[in-house]
Amino acid sequence: MDKPRLAVFKFTSCDGCQLSIPDMERGLVDIANTFDIAYFLGLKSRKSTGYYGISLVEGSISTPDEIKRIRAIRENTHYLVTIGACATAGGLQALRNLKDLGAFKKAVYPKPEHIDALKDSLPISHYVHVDFELWGCPISREGLLEVLASFLRERRPNIQAYSVCFECKRKGTPCVLVAQGIPCLGPITRTGCGAICPSYGRDCYGCFGPSEDPNIKSLSLRFETLGLSKDEIKLRLAGINSYAFGKYHGKE
Amino acid sequence: MGKNKTIKVDVLTRVEGEGGLYVKVVDREIKELRLNIFEPPRFFEAFLKGRLYHEVPDMVARICGICPVAYQMSAVHAIEKIFGLKVEGQLRELRRLIYCAEWIASHCLHIYFLSAPDFLGFESAVAMGKKYPETLQQALRLKKVGNELFSLLGGRPVHPISVRVGGFYKTPLKKGLKAFLSELENAFEDAIESIRWAINLDFPDISWDIEFVSLWNPEE
Ligand code: SF4
């Protein structure tokens, strides 16, 4: 049987998610033995076009050119997976969606007229159909391996969407919110990182995006009792996954 | 190179970021040279305004997935300067150590995975490994040690969560660091071997009339 063709694409991002592939060390060799890595600019110079069995897409859509590129990729892909917060929720750069782009351009570039950027940084799913979204900033290697393994076996990835709190309980990490009054986003954030931050005695800052049915309103009220102002609570949610949290927040 | 030649690379590969290159040579002379960087802007400098100081290290890490610590360290030093705070002693040493972990991992990525295939004429490090399996093994071993040391101090191998203004959210246990020492000692051999190997690569013989500057810290 021919090896399935795998492609890795980058849009507006930091490379952190796609580089979890060489970060897998020996896993990289296993992936290369199992898949035909047809397109991966970050690791391979030969570019093989055509139809891809699975495309891993990193990064958000933030320029007009990227809209064209993602549409072409969708047409040539059987199973399209977004990897990371940028691709799945617009990323940290989606903070500009809440502000005036013109002012942002002027604040950073001496010649803002040369900057070709869309008003909003948006998730891939805003423009094309996505078959599976893998959250995280960065994604976890285990998550990515599960996505690849499930693709080979033609089943849904076994990746949970409950909150980080469950993971803390399982690890026996004392709750930083209850015990120390730290405004932790764990109760509304998706599991998948291994609940690292609370085990370091600090707040989760939501890099894996919203969990299923996040009760943002109730957590905000809890934060108020900790003495956070409404503005501070807004800032807490306006982080790496601002666009995704904002969607829920807006509803309430 | 012939007398006339045009080199057009739509997208450069095995580099971090996105760019293209266009070179036009006429009569052995470069007539046109364009480096096109199309890495889209993300506006960090703008959206950081108005944020709380303790959010900054977590945010700036996302500038680059290869060298997040570089941004985190610049940020914490800048903010500590504002507070008139000086982080010294063991905390400073641990900061240096996490920086070194990043260097091990990122230099290994750069040398073996991004650059070496070009020197040796392969499309990728994996393809290179088919002919030179020991070289690839060495690369993977070094990368692993870098990543593990990084995780030991930072919680994970990309975008560490332990770095904060004033020091660390949690410092590693002495026990954990000690247990890692033998791995580092083995990696030291691999590092020396890597240098031996890299200096024997065939570097093109070009020299420019340029003065290179490098900075160093006499205390480190
Ligand atoms: S999700 Fe985070 S780690 Fe992944 S590319 Fe975006 S900024 Fe980098």
Asked if B75 is an interface residue toward chain A (Cβ–Cβ < 8 A), one would say: no
Rounded to whole angstroms, the Cα distance separating B59 from B68 reads: 10
Rounded to whole angstroms, the Cα distance separating A195 from A183 reads: 15
- Check residue A249 and give its pLDDT: 64
Task: Decide if pLDDT at A252 tops 80.
Answer: no
Average pLDDT of chain A to the nearest whole number: 95
Residue A93's nearest CA partner among A225, A193, A242, A252 is A242
Per-residue pLDDT tens digits for B1-55: 568 999 999 899 998 878 899 999 999 899 999 999 888 999 999 999 999 999 9
- Check residue A250 and give its pLDDT: 56
Cβ atoms of A14 and B41 closer than 8 Å: no
Asked if A43 is an interface residue toward chain B (Cβ–Cβ < 8 A), one would say: yes
Query: Degrees (nearest 5) of the Cα angle B54, B58, B60?
Result: 105
Pairs of residues, one from chain A and one from chain B, whose beta carbons lie less than 8 Å apart: 162
Per-residue pLDDT tens digits for A47-84: 999 999 999 999 999 999 999 999 999 999 999 999 99
Q: Tokens at residue B155, please?
A: 């919680």
Rounded to whole angstroms, the Cα distance separating B64 from B40 reads: 13
Does the C-beta of A91 come closer than 6 Å to ligand 1? yes
**Which residues partner with A122 through β-bridges?**
A61
User: What is the CB neighbour count within 10 angstroms for residue A24?
Assistant: 20
So where are chain B's domains?
7-38, 87-198
Asked if A103 is an interface residue toward chain B (Cβ–Cβ < 8 A), one would say: yes
DSSP code of A51?
A: -
Residue B30 burial (10 A CB sphere; 0-12, 13-18, 19+):
exposed
- Residue A132: φ, ψ to 5°: -150, 140
Rounded to whole angstroms, the Cα distance separating A53 from A151 reads: 9
- Check residue B18 and give its pLDDT: 84
Task: Decide if pLDDT at B206 tops 90.
Answer: no
**Cis previous bond, A138, omega within 30:** yes
106-165 of A, contacting B, C-beta below 8 A: 107-109, 115, 117, 121, 137-138
Per-residue pLDDT tens digits for A88-128: 999 999 999 999 999 999 999 999 998 999 999 999 999 99
Of the pLDDT bands very low, low, confident and very high (cuts 50, 70, 90), residue B190 is very high
Q: Mutation test of ligand 1: which of A57, A82, A137 has the most ligand atoms closer than 8 Å to its C-beta?
A: A137
Residue B121's nearest CA partner among A204, A46, A219, A134 is A46
Query: Chain A: residue nearest B109 by CA?
Result: A22
pTM, two decimals, is: 0.95
Rounded to whole angstroms, the Cα distance separating B127 from A233 reads: 50
132-161 of B, contacting A, C-beta below 8 A: 136, 140, 143-144, 147, 155-159, 161
Query: Chain A: residue nearest B45 by CA?
Result: A108
Residues above pLDDT 90, as percent of chain A: 92
Rounded to whole angstroms, the Cα distance separating A73 from B109 reads: 27
Per-residue pLDDT tens digits for B134-183: 999 999 999 999 999 999 999 999 999 999 999 999 999 999 999 999 99
Task: Decide if pLDDT at A24 tops 90.
Answer: no
Atom of ligand 1 nearest to the CA of A138: 3
Query: Degrees (nearest 5) of the Cα angle A18, A23, A26?
Result: 125
Please give the distance, rounded to the nearest whole angstrom, from the Cα atom of residue A90 to the centre of ligand 1: 10
Rounded to whole angstroms, the Cα distance separating B54 from A149 reads: 38
Q: Do B170 and A200 touch (CB under 8 A)?
A: yes
Task: Decide if pLDDT at A37 tops 70.
Answer: yes
Does the C-beta of B28 come closer than 6 Å to ligand 1? no
56-95 of A, contacting B, C-beta below 8 A: 62-63, 65-66, 91-93, 95
In chain A, the domains with their CATH numbers are 5-152 (3.40.50.700), 164-249 (no CATH)
- Check residue A247 and give its pLDDT: 84
CA dihedral sign of residues A110, A113, A119, A124: negative
Which of B18, B43, B52, B107 to probe the A interface (max A CBs under 10 A)? B43
End-to-end CA distance of chain A: 51
Q: What is the DSSP string of chain B?
A: --SSEEEEESS--SSSS-EEEEEEEETTEEEEEEEEE-PPP--HHHHTTT--GGGHHHHHGGG-SS-HHHHHHHHHHHHHHHHT----HHHHHHHHHHHHHHHHHHHHIIIIIIIHHHHHT-SBHHHHHHH-HHHHHHHHHHHHHHHHHHHHHHSSSSS-S-EETTEESSPPPHHHHHHHHHHHHHHHHHHHHHHHHHHTS-------S--------TT-
Query: Chain A: residue nearest B121 by CA?
Result: A45
Cα separations in angstroms, A82 against A10, A18, A32, A247: 10, 11, 20, 19
Does the C-beta of A143 come closer than 6 Å to ligand 1? no
Please give the distance, rounded to the nearest whole angstrom, from the Cα atom of residue A86 to the centre of ligand 1: 6
Q: Mutation test of ligand 1: which of A13, A56, A61 has the most ligand atoms closer than 8 Å to its C-beta?
A: A13
Per-residue pLDDT tens digits for A157-167: 999 999 999 99
- Check residue B2 and give its pLDDT: 63
Does the C-beta of A192 come closer than 6 Å to ligand 1? no
- Check residue B16 and give its pLDDT: 82
Asked if B193 is an interface residue toward chain A (Cβ–Cβ < 8 A), one would say: no
- Give the amino acid at B29: E
Mean pLDDT of all residues in B53-61: 98
Query: Chain A: residue nearest B16 by CA?
Result: A42
Cβ atoms of A185 and A203 closer than 8 Å: yes
Residue A118's nearest CA partner among A65, A72, A68 is A65
User: For the packed helices A242-251 and A230-237, what is the interaxial angle rounded to 10 degrees?
Assistant: 130
- Check residue B42 and give its pLDDT: 97
Does the C-beta of A13 come closer than 6 Å to ligand 1? yes
Look-up of token digits 């809440």: A98
Mean pLDDT of all residues in B99-120: 96
Residue B159's nearest CA partner among A49, A17, A64 is A17
**Which residues partner with A39 through β-bridges?**
A7
pLDDT-wise least confident of A12-26, A223-237, B153-167: A12-26
Asked if B96 is an interface residue toward chain A (Cβ–Cβ < 8 A), one would say: no
Say how many residues make up chain A: 252
ipTM score: 0.95
Rounded to whole angstroms, the Cα distance separating B181 from B174 reads: 11
- Check residue A25 and give its pLDDT: 79
Q: Tokens at residue B219, please?
A: 């205390």
Contacts of B14 in chain A (CB under 8 A): 41-45
